[in-house]
Amino acid sequence: MSVRTKAYFKVRISGVFYYISTVLIIGGLFLLLPFIIGLIYGESGNTIDLIKSFVVPGVVIFFLGLILKYRSTKNRISLKDSMFICSFSWIILTIIGAIPYVVMLKTGYIDALFEAMSGFTTTGATILTGLDEMPRSILFWRAFTQWIGGLGILSMFILIGFKGGAAANKLFIAESHKIAGKKPSPGAFHTAKVLWELYIGFTLALIIILKICGVGLFDAMTHSFTTISTGGFSIYDNSITQFQILGYQYHHIIEIVIIFFMILGGMNFFIHSRILKGDIKSLWDSTEVRYFWGIILGSTLLILISYSISKGLSYEAINGEVITGVNAVLLHLKDTIFQVVSILTTTGYATRDINSGYFTPFAKQLFLILMLIGGCAGSTSGGFKVIRVAVLSKLAKNKIYKLNSSSFTRAPLTIDNEKIEMEEITRITVILFLWILLLIIGGAATAFFSKLSAWQSISGMFSALGNIGPSFISVQEMIELNPIIKLVYIFGMLAGRLEILPVLIIFNKKFFK
């Protein structure tokens, strides 16, 4: 390596570390919040563990960030550099974010990594049981990691730590979903500002509504964090069903409210921005949003039909009561819409276990498809994204049209009257190929290193890669999985959240030359 090349490499690395240092500084401050929550909710008898869980790692990465910032310089970075910063930031925060689970809950470190990655990527898969009895500090941390990860770790740090510029734009592109429609304002900083204003506003609104429905402040806060982020970490083992089990008077309304806010989280946030400006037609005037509504309505209808053919229309409540007539139909409709929306938006909440006998085999197969599709681009949802499904379906339609037309006919691919360039089509097909490849690898690894069925094995990687959470593997079976499988799922969660390509930069040795 020449002297000039070495100097250039040093400048690049210095710029990369500058932006990573900001992530560490802000991440260290965030770790202090659950410590404060622990003290507020009377965990002072466990102060030593609270300090070791949150204060010590928070202080360590805070000062590590300060040292890195002092030793680095704010240089220009390339898109490839920003992808590395993005992936490395998520990984380092997950490594640090796993410490509270090890100290407070005495879990193994791989299990702690699994839980932390599931939190930050808003996957919602868990290896923890006994949530009802856990310290509030840990429950808050689980929910807060999902809230941070909902719109993206770097988007928050762009808002707090950077004031715009080319570097902020590249970092925003590296982390955000690439087909996100028209941005509400120019520049990454202003876009992040608008998105976080909406995000915080939705969160506060849901907290208030849940409080009005009789939910306690801590429950309302944590469930609001994990609903609008479409993360699905509940503070109860029974998820949203717990509100019914506890006898909440308005538990049906609570479920309907959560459906509404899961939809808000699963839709493109730029649509919300347009709606708030009075542009109501944005709820149906784009291909993506029409596909989104169509998938929800179509899936709900198909599942209801399959249930009525298989089991009739009587409804068995959680307490064993059998309900018939119109009330049974309405309850089936509510439970089905809840689960369809929860799966499609990759939230993962449940009022019915998707692996239970309540859902027909057809419904369970459809859930796997919804896990793959996911929500809209520019949302907090995971999955392949509705807009990409729309692009590929139109691509297939175009191909069929060309086969039935003159060889001189040229039909460009357009979405909402905008031409989709071949480079974008190529990128979508590459992501789809890598997505399928990872599903195969994850499913094969699960089947090879466990005694789970083929059905369960493939569903586990669908859950991890789609950042969805629920699968046909029970929590107890998830706990007992081989550590190799858990590591594969950890990688799958990160790859799914960052859309695979930025993660591959870490494994590209040319980047480090």
110: left (phi over 0), alpha (psi -120 to 50) or beta: alpha
For the residues 327-338, what does the mean pLDDT come to? 92
Q: What is the pLDDT of residue 220?
A: 97
Q: What is the pTM of this model?
A: 0.90
Q: Which residues contact 34 (CB under 8 A, 6 or more apart)?
A: 53, 54, 100, 137, 138, 140, 141, 144
Which of 31-40, 83-92, 220-229, 333-342 is least confident? 83-92
Which of 238-242, 405-409, 494-498, 499-503 is least confident? 405-409
- Alpha-carbon span 183 to 164, nearest angstrom: 15
Residue-wise pLDDT for 63-122, tens only, equals 999 998 888 887 777 777 778 888 888 899 999 999 999 999 999 999 999 999 999 999
Residue whose tokens read 């179509």: 298
Q: Which residue has the higher pLDDT, 482 or 316?
A: 482
Q: Which residue has the higher pLDDT, 159 or 146?
A: 146
- For the chain, the C-alpha Rg in angstroms (whole number) is 23
Answer yes or no: is pLDDT of 189 > 60.
yes
- Alpha-carbon span 172 to 79, nearest angstrom: 10
Name residue 288's amino acid: E
Q: What is the pLDDT of residue 47?
A: 84
DSSP labels, 196-239: HHHHHHHHHHHHHHHHHTT--HHHHHHHHHHHHTT----SSTTT
**Which pLDDT band, with edges at 50, 70 and 90, does 423 fall under?**
confident
Answer yes or no: is pLDDT of 411 > 70.
no
**Which pLDDT band, with edges at 50, 70 and 90, does 179 fall under?**
very low
- Alpha-carbon span 202 to 152, nearest angstrom: 16
**Which pLDDT band, with edges at 50, 70 and 90, does 178 fall under?**
very low
- Alpha-carbon span 504 to 90, nearest angstrom: 14
Which of 134-138, 249-253, 260-264, 496-500 is least confident? 496-500
Q: What is the pLDDT of residue 175?
A: 57
Q: How high is the mean pLDDT of the chain?
A: 86
Contact between 340 and 296 under an 8 Å Cβ cutoff? The reply is yes
Q: What is the pLDDT of residue 181?
A: 46
Angle (CA) 289-292-293 rounded to 5° is 90
Q: What is the pLDDT of residue 200?
A: 94
Answer yes or no: is pLDDT of 422 > 90.
no
Q: What is the pLDDT of residue 291?
A: 95
- Alpha-carbon span 381 to 384, nearest angstrom: 10
Answer yes or no: is pLDDT of 384 > 70.
yes
Answer yes or no: is pLDDT of 447 > 80.
yes
Residue-wise pLDDT for 203-262, tens only, equals 999 999 999 999 999 999 999 999 999 999 999 999 999 999 998 999 999 999 999 999
Percent of the chain with pLDDT over 70: 88
The sign of the dihedral angle between the CA atoms of 230, 233, 238, 239 is: negative
- Alpha-carbon span 33 to 22, nearest angstrom: 18
Q: What is the pLDDT of residue 401?
A: 77
Residue-wise pLDDT for 426-436, tens only, equals 888 888 999 99
Which of 4-13, 30-39, 155-164, 301-310 is least confident? 155-164
Q: What is the pLDDT of residue 72?
A: 81
- Alpha-carbon span 494 to 415, nearest angstrom: 29
**Which pLDDT band, with edges at 50, 70 and 90, does 151 fall under?**
confident
Q: What is the pLDDT of residue 165?
A: 52
Answer yes or no: is pLDDT of 185 > 70.
no
Q: What is the pLDDT of residue 98?
A: 96
For the residues 157-167, what does the mean pLDDT come to? 56
